[in-house]
Amino acid sequence: MTDKIPDTIKNEIEKLVQELNDHCYRYYVLDSPLVSDEEYDRMYFHLKHLEEKHHYVLPDSPTQRVGAPPLEKFEKVKHTEPMLSLDNAFTQENLVEFDKRIKKILKSDQDIEYTVEPKYDGLAIELTYRRGLLYKASTRGDGYQGEEVTRNIRTIKSVPIKISDDGNMSDEIDIRGEVYMDIRDFEQLNKDREEKGEPVFANPRNAAAGSVRQLDSSITASRKLHLACYGIGSVKGFEFKTQGEFMQWLKKARFPVPTVIETVTGIKQVIQVIREIEENRKGYSFETDGSVVKVNSFDLQKQLGMKTREPRWAIAYKFTAHQGITKILDIQGSVGRTGVITPFAVFAPVKIGGVTVSRSTLHNWDEIERKDIHIGDTVIVERAGDVIPHVLAVIKDKRTGKEKCFPVPEHCPVCGAKVVREVGEVAARCIGLNCPAQVQEKIFHFASRGALDIEGLGEKTVELLFSQGLVHNFVDLFRLRKEALLNLPRFAEKSAQNLIDAIEKSKHTTLARFLYALGILHIGEYASRLLAKNFGKLGDLYHVKPEELLQIRQAGEKTAHTVSEFFNDEKNLNALDELQKLGVQITNPDFQGKEEGRKPFDGLTFVITGILPKPRNEIEEMIRRLGGHTASSVSKKTDYVLVGEDPGSKAGQAKNLHVKTLAYDELLEMIAQYRGKDRLF
């Protein structure tokens, strides 16, 4: 088709695309346009006319930034390298301690070279480019898995669809940054929403996050969003020696970067740059609640490694927040969707930074005890990040002796069920199976794909059934009748029958799926299969003791205690018995009580890194079928690290921890030796 297009037309389209992208970069990134808006619009519509007439559209054409048809849902995306959070520093002393820790790990007395930049208050995003073109964009999520938001991110004018480079380009690179909204644009957005009678956003960060997480990308396109790039994830075919070098490459490749990027030597210079950023932040167009400090050398970053959820080579310094003094009138408990009871303080209203504050989370009872907080105390309250209020300290000199403590409740304030607090855990949880505060989320999880997989029972349907009083817990799902559904909105004869049929079908399930469906704390799909391998039937878990569960090699103390607590609660056991009376039939093909049921990888944990001959999800499924488990990070408990081409840092971590590494062929040999075959597939 494109062969029939005259070269003159192709050349004109290609020239227009290049010129418009240049103007877009100068306008949205450099803030120094060379043409008027009218001239840009004229060129844009001429390009659009040529593309439509000749059906010739380049992948990086600015016409491809408009919103696409709405999605039904966001797909989940695994990050090749985890997007970890940062440890926080609140004082200069914390920064000095951070520097000392680094020198101690590196066994060096030399001053470390650092980069310093403002901490943008927005939504963390990862951009994946393949052969120079934007291939995928995803949110941070839990750090290991996020949501794909590519179509929405493409609408942000400062995001390059194609990397402008001098030819020294990697095959694939993950670039990380923050999507944010300028304060002025945020205020205008809220003003427009107020006029339309729509709810306003609490702050620019929420506005940016809400705009990116729109199923309709045309809504994202209508918002004025920006991007600041600051980090690197997985990269193939290109190597950077330092953070500073990488940031210079980003600028050269036309990516927007933080407004300040300083490379300095020694923690004293770091503190000086942070002071300058804090002094100047009032003049920034965006919200910032601190500065980010990173070790400049990538080699040193690798040596320093990671903690569980944070890199050791970076820290976020938080600026001083607005403060006020008030009195705690009461302390109450709020029950979250997972049963966690969070204490919160009710204040005498106080204005802090222009906002009236009347309540604040107290996070947990360890925090209450540490700060010695009582009902009736006079306290200093601050708004961290200029947004979230919390109790900074108690003014003990103002105590009268009438103050009262607020202990961990023994029973849930909502349903009256037992409240448990695991050893070593800060959270107190309601373990009631039918707690109204948790029930909708529990019902939705119970019906989800990895659990009982009840087709048609999505969040909106669960909300409708609950609000109409048809279900109060997931046991009630099996009491539903078609006649009751026909009285509800959105339900007709066929849709009502389909849901009843799906519920009936779900009555036949496996023990692993059923255990996962129960939503027991710490019990995901892997732990559910592990329990099913070791307990023949559901009744074998009734009144189980932690010591029995700890006999399972992979079971930890937290898992053992939460499972034991659940199966020793009489209300929970009565509900399980009721489910079976209503026709739920549970089989257990995973049970390995007999030796002949054992599999070659039973009890083994694998971590995968690099490019392998088969897709990663297929290899993970193969390992699982053979009794093994795959994890996302290397630890001392890892048995094998499967290493492919271009492996990441996990291969080095395996060496440091003395964990055995395997090539793909060696993995297949292990299987072949067990089964007496040359290859599994």
**What is the phi/psi pair of residue 178, to 5°?**
-125, 125
Identify which of 364, 351, 357 has the alpha carbon closest to the alpha carbon of residue 409.
364
For 24-66, the three-class secondary structure string (H helix, E strand, C coil) is HHHHHCCCCCCCCHHHHHHHHHHHHHHHHHHCCCCCCCHHHHC
Q: What is the pLDDT of residues 524-570, one digit of tens each?
A: 777 888 888 888 889 889 888 888 888 776 677 778 888 989 998 88
Q: Specify whether 304 is located in the same domain as 340.
A: no
Q: At what angle do helices 183-195 and 204-212 cross, to 10 degrees?
A: 70
Q: Specify whether 253 is located in the same domain as 125.
A: yes
pLDDT at position 347 is 93
Give the pLDDT mean for 131-136.
87
Res. 415 pLDDT band, cuts 50 70 90:
confident
Res. 487 pLDDT band, cuts 50 70 90:
confident
Among the three residues 318, 348, 383, which one is the final residue of a domain in this structure? 318
- Domain total of the chain: 5
Among the three residues 318, 338, 363, which one is the final residue of a domain in this structure? 318
> Lowest mean pLDDT: which of 111-120, 231-240, 562-571, 598-607?
598-607
> Lowest mean pLDDT: which of 62-76, 100-114, 304-318?
62-76
CATH of the domain at 369: 2.40.50.140
Q: Specify whether 386 is located in the same domain as 522.
A: no
Distance from C-alpha of 431 to C-alpha of 442, rounded to nearest angstrom:
12
Q: Specify whether 192 is located in the same domain as 226.
A: yes
Q: Are 77 and 127 in contact (CB under 8 A)?
A: no
Alpha helices in 468-594 (DSSP H): 482-485, 493-506, 511-517, 525-534, 546-549, 557-566, 570-581
Residue 119 appears among annotated catalytic residues: yes
> Of residues 669 and 248, which shows the higher confidence score?
248
Q: Specify whether 539 is located in the same domain as 655.
A: no
Q: Specify whether 112 is located in the same domain as 203.
A: yes
> Of residues 661 and 57, which shows the higher confidence score?
661
| Structural domain boundaries enclosing 525 | 436-587
Res. 33 pLDDT band, cuts 50 70 90:
low
Would you state the structure tokens that stand for residue 433, as one six-digit string?
Answer: 């199976």
First to last CA, the chain: 41
**What is the phi/psi pair of residue 473, to 5°?**
-165, 175
Give the pLDDT mean for 395-422.
89
Identify which of 359, 353, 364 has the alpha carbon closest to the alpha carbon of residue 327.
359
Give the pLDDT mean for 594-600.
54
Q: Which helix (H) or strand (E) holds 298?
A: helix 298-304
Res. 30 pLDDT band, cuts 50 70 90:
low
Active-site position among 48, 73, 107, 119 = 119
> Of residues 620 and 247, which shows the higher confidence score?
247
pLDDT at position 315 is 94
Q: What is the pLDDT of residues 1-16, one digit of tens each?
A: 555 778 788 788 878 8
> Of residues 293 and 76, which shows the higher confidence score?
293
Greatest mean pLDDT among 117-126, 329-338, 434-443, 483-492 lies in: 117-126
Give the pLDDT mean for 464-476.
87
CATH of the domain at 38: 1.10.287.610
pLDDT at position 196 is 54
Res. 93 pLDDT band, cuts 50 70 90:
very high
Identify which of 409, 410, 462 has the alpha carbon closest to the alpha carbon of residue 440.
462
Report yes or no on 347 lying in a domain. Answer: yes
Distance from C-alpha of 314 to C-alpha of 89, rounded to nearest angstrom:
10
Radius of gyration of the chain (CA): 28
48 has pLDDT over 90:
no
Res. 681 pLDDT band, cuts 50 70 90:
very low
19 has pLDDT over 50:
yes
Give the pLDDT mean for 135-159.
87
Give the pLDDT mean for 432-438.
75
Q: Are 422 and 558 in contact (CB under 8 A)?
A: yes
Q: Are 57 and 63 in contact (CB under 8 A)?
A: yes
83 has pLDDT over 80:
yes
Report yes or no on 431 lying in a domain. Answer: no
CATH of the domain at 669: 3.40.50.10190
pLDDT at position 318 is 86
407 has pLDDT over 70:
yes
Would you state the structure tokens that stand for residue 409, as one six-digit string?
Answer: 């409740």
Report yes or no on 452 lying in a domain. Answer: yes
Greatest mean pLDDT among 98-102, 159-163, 330-334, 465-469 lies in: 98-102
Among the three residues 352, 383, 398, which one is the final residue of a domain in this structure? 398
Q: Specify whether 33 is located in the same domain as 156.
A: no
pLDDT at position 103 is 94
Q: Where are the strands (E) in 385-444, listed by range?
A: 388-394, 419-420, 428-430
Q: Specify whether 450 is located in the same domain as 552.
A: yes
Report yes or no on 516 lying in a domain. Answer: yes
pLDDT at position 677 is 38
Quote the mean pLDDT of the chain: 82
For 56-124, the three-class secondary structure string (H helix, E strand, C coil) is CCCCCCHHHHCCCCCCCCCCEEECCCCCCCCEEECCHHHHHHHHHHHHHHHCCCCCCEEEEEEEECCEE
273 has pLDDT over 90:
yes
CATH of the domain at 481: 1.10.150.20
Q: Specify whether 608 is located in the same domain as 559.
A: no
Identify which of 294, 268, 301 has the alpha carbon closest to the alpha carbon of residue 111.
268
pLDDT > 70 fraction of the chain, expressed in percent and rounded:
87
Report yes or no on 594 lying in a domain. Answer: no
Report yes or no on 113 lying in a domain. Answer: yes
pLDDT at position 605 is 85
Q: Are 511 and 587 in contact (CB under 8 A)?
A: yes
Q: Specify whether 482 is located in the same domain as 531.
A: yes
Report yes or no on 416 lying in a domain. Answer: no
Q: Specify whether 517 is located in the same domain as 624.
A: no
Give the pLDDT mean for 651-666.
86
- All residues at 6 or more sequence positions from 131 whose CB lies less than 8 Å from its CB, including other chains: 169, 171, 172
Res. 679 pLDDT band, cuts 50 70 90:
very low
> Lowest mean pLDDT: which of 54-68, 364-378, 448-462, 620-634?
54-68
403 has pLDDT over 90:
yes
Q: Specify whether 52 is located in the same domain as 125.
A: no
Res. 247 pLDDT band, cuts 50 70 90:
very high
Report yes or no on 226 lying in a domain. Answer: yes
Q: What is the pLDDT of residues 332-382, one digit of tens each?
A: 988 876 788 888 999 999 887 667 889 888 877 888 888 999 999 999 887
Distance from C-alpha of 34 to C-alpha of 17, rounded to nearest angstrom:
16
Q: What pTM was computed for the model? A: 0.47
Give the pLDDT mean for 431-446.
79
Question: How many CA atoms does the CB half-sphere of 177 hold within 13 Å?
Answer: 26
> Of residues 61 and 26, which shows the higher confidence score?
61
